Structure 1
Amino acid sequence: MVRSFKAAAVLMGLILTDAAFAQSLDPAEMAAVGQYGERAAPLTVFERDGGLRVDGRSHADARLTPLGRRRYRIEDGGELVLEPVAVRLDGTRLPRHDFGAEVEAGIRAAVRADPQALRARALAATPPVETADHLPADLVDLASLDAPIRFDIRYAGSDNFMGLPLYERPAAYMQRPAAQALARAAKVLEAQGYGLLVHDAYRPWFVTWMFWEATPPEDHMFVADPAQGSRHNRGCAVDLTLYDLETGKPVEMPSRYDEMSGRSYADFIGGTTRQRAMRATLREAMVAQGFEVYREEWWHFDYKDWRRYGIGTQTFSELATARREPSASGRR
């Protein structure tokens, strides 16, 4: 059923495949999709419906018209020339940048100095005192849900912006109403040929403290202030993407997960038509089940009742022990 649904969608023009892109743009043009210049005011080259466009540096979603030899006329004025690792905008060379990777490299370099000391300080820190009444915590292991949900818990390993394991075990928990809503969203997406790939859900408060401490102030919009507590701490936030049920592979989105750059914004104009379509597919399914979009991160969704729960401090080892799981011997 999944295969026939997707085939029909392609025939009707509802899904633009990567092969369709290749027919419109050559490899060098597709490789030019990215960001150039300064991080504070980048030029974004992106693809839409088989053509290249630019946004930023006085240009607003402007179409590029080929002039030959990698030269393009910009719809709202000016000229762009594609180079292997840069572009020339009206003669000014703008180097290509992966701003997210650059921020991550800086954070990892600082954390490597003494990660154990950072963790010890976090565990010794005091969470904020909350005086409001909250609903009792009722965290559900998402692996117990009967839904097409897979897991790639990045903070249980080193494949994350910090570059080190933060959780003692790979697991994902959410408050029961949020978990049930997530299962409903997964069922809807299943009919479209996709499953949910969860990267993170409930997060102990001490990890939020580590994130804030390690992240440069200019990038604090990507991490929660531990003085206020994270939505993840309350068990109603989830970080996730889509995977293709036929191939089992994650779909491509406009940015990587946990990338600290403008590409991560939920309304980022760049990337490709298909990447933005997949982002919209995920968003529509989640919003329909009561989740709210988080502006700075396309992968982050908050269940509507997140404010009704208190800040959680239990580690994953403590949660496993409470549920009498065999893996409860993990150390922090």
Structure 2
Amino acid sequence: MTDLVRRSFLALTAAGLAAPAAFAQSRAEQAAIGQYGDKAAPFTVFEQDGALHIDGEGFKATRLNALGGGRYAIAGGGELILETGAVRLNGKVLAFHDFGAEVEAAIRKAVRADPALLRQRALAATPPAETGDKLASDLVDVTTITPGIKLDIRYAGANNFMGIPLYEKSAAYLQRPAAEALGRIHRALAAKGYGLLIHDAYRPWSVTWMFWEATPTEARIFVADPTQGSRHNRGCAVDLTLYDLETGQPVEMPSRYDEFSTRAYADFVGGTTAQRERRAVLRQAMEADGFTVYAEEWWHFDYRDYRRYPIGTKTFTELAVG
């Protein structure tokens, strides 16, 4: 359902003009959007152009045709039935899963065991030695370059996959050329009604070490190997999304920020048409000015010159005092 259709539908409902049955069915379909079955090969139900589609279990972006009562005919043959917390695909029950939330819960449990020790070990660890000439680091506060850019720095509080504060303050630092490019992108997006909302930018190497240590091996595709250093450590990577200039609120994307699941992939087929369209708007704007998306995270973009900068170890407190 597009944003325009959703707003029109909600307006009709508020005025008592939308049929209750249609609203109930719409809610059921929206609730069905997500992933099911096996984490290694998820079955995905998603919306495309006003209709539910499925992907996985031998199907590829296949349309569902409503038969009523939560039953759907699968284009090309077969049947899918919506059930509470599951779908029944040609008789096979596939349970709903929020795979990202499940991984996050495991990470938070491990961190809670002894967060002080984890931080102590990270600060005592030694960053990898680097060879070759590097540019002098020139980290700047992004909001001083472009005041309209908003911040929601998740690692400055506990609302992150680790469940603990990792930065001493809420700030976004980038190497000056990357910060200036981000300012141009923010201003260009205004024509489409959007602004940029940053979740993370420069990240001290010790925090990258903590991420790696706390993350299960099978999920480490979503965190950087500290023996190589992160592009965030170099001040040339940014995690961000869009916010609506009219409402000031973040937009919905196909996954949450820092979600450890295939829903986070830059080419994930699922979610809704509107969510995928907004993801494409962000990617196109970023790639038009020197950034490249990380394939496993739609929100992560690397600036073209990241290899030329050294791994950074300064904390936010140290950066604030110069």
> TM-score if structure 2 supplies the norm length?
0.93
Aligned-residue offset at 1:19: 3.4
Q: Is the 8 A contact 1:148 1:190 kept in 2?
A: no
1:168 aligns with 2:156: no
Aligned equivalent of 1:246? 246
1:101 aligns with 2:89: no
Q: Distance in 2 between matches of 1:67 and 1:147?
A: 52
Q: Distance in 2 between matches of 1:28 and 1:15?
A: 18
Q: Distance in 2 between matches of 1:241 and 1:206?
A: 25
The number of aligned residues is: 309
Deviations 1:89-146 (A, max 9, x none): 1111111110000000000001000000000000000000001111110001012023
Aligned equivalent of 1:266? 266
1:190 aligns with 2:202: no
Letter matched to residue 240 of structure 2: L
Aligned-residue offset at 1:21: 7.8
Give the counterpart of 2:7 among 2, 9, 19: 19
Q: Which runs of 4+ in 1 moved over 3 A?
A: 14-17, 19-25
Aligned-residue offset at 1:84: 2.1
Q: Distance in 1 between matches of 2:57 and 2:41?
A: 6
Gaps of 5+ in 1: 1-13, 323-332
Q: Distance in 1 between matches of 2:78 and 2:39?
A: 21
Letter matched to residue 286 of structure 1: M
CA gap 1:17/1:182 in 2 versus in 1, 3 angstroms: farther
1:118 aligns with 2:118: yes
Q: Is the 8 A contact 1:157 1:164 kept in 2?
A: yes
Q: Is the 8 A contact 1:18 1:274 kept in 2?
A: no
Deviates more, 1:248-257 or 1:15-24: 15-24
Aligned-residue offset at 1:16: 4.9
Aligned-residue offset at 1:66: 1.2
Q: Distance in 1 between matches of 2:176 and 2:27?
A: 46
Aligned equivalent of 1:304? 304
Aligned-residue offset at 1:149: 0.5
**What is the percentage of aligned positions where both structures have the same residue?**
67
Aligned equivalent of 1:214? 214
Letter matched to residue 159 of structure 1: N
Letter matched to residue 6 of structure 2: D
Q: Distance in 2 between matches of 1:243 and 1:109?
A: 32
Letter matched to residue 296 of structure 1: E
* SS of structure 2 residue aligned to 1:43: strand
Deviations 1:6-53 (A, max 9, x none): xxxxxxxx9754336879961111111011111111110000010000
Alignment of 1:1-332 (within 5 A): 16-19=4-7, 26-322=26-322
Q: Distance in 2 between matches of 1:242 and 1:20?
A: 22
* SS of structure 2 residue aligned to 1:122: helix
Gaps of 5+ in 2: 11-17
* SS of structure 2 residue aligned to 1:276: helix
Q: Distance in 2 between matches of 1:77 and 1:307?
A: 51
Aligned equivalent of 1:9? none
CA gap 1:211/1:190 in 2 versus in 1, 3 angstroms: same
Q: Distance in 1 between matches of 2:36 and 2:229?
A: 35
Deviations 1:129-169 (A, max 9, x none): 00111111000101202352000000000000000000111
